[in-house]
Amino acid sequence: MNTPRMSPETLRVLQSFLERATDWRYGYELSRETKLKSGTLYPILMRLEKYKLLEARWVATQDGVPPRHTYRLTPNGLELAKTQLTEARQRSMVQQPAFCNGWE
């Protein structure tokens, strides 16, 4: 399966999606949770959607306000997010100093 580049920012977005895996999420809401600006967040969302890891839909709003785009991870996206976040945690553990405990 082709996967997008897993930058730390992408992992943050995936982490945010995983926290409420079944919910549809708004862009601004994700931006606040991940502390990413729109110029960083949306390219990640676009890339995830391109790889079919994310699904999007439009939600109608009250009159005079534009409709909102909402997002949710697909089953593939959920699986990949879990794998990648697990690996990232392992990696962060591997990168700890090898003899850290011995010197304490």
Q: Which of 55, 79, 90, 103 binds other proteins (CB under 8 A)?
A: 90
Footprint of other proteins on residues 26-65 (CB under 8 A)? 26-28, 31, 37-43, 45-46, 50-51, 56, 61, 65
Residue pointed to by tokens 């895996």: 21
18 binds other proteins (CB under 8 A): no
Contacts of 66 (CB under 8 A, 6+ apart): none
Instruction: Give CA–CA dist 68/96, Å, rounded.
Output: 42
Total number of residues that touch other proteins (CB under 8 A)? 35
Instruction: Give CA–CA dist 24/10, Å, rounded.
Output: 18
How close are the terminal C-alpha atoms of the chain, in Å?
Answer: 44
**Between residues 19 and 87, which has the closer beta carbon with respect to other proteins?**
87
Interface positions with other proteins (CB under 8 A):
2-3, 5-7, 11, 26-28, 31, 37-43, 45-46, 50-51, 56, 61, 65-69, 83-84, 87-88, 90-91, 94
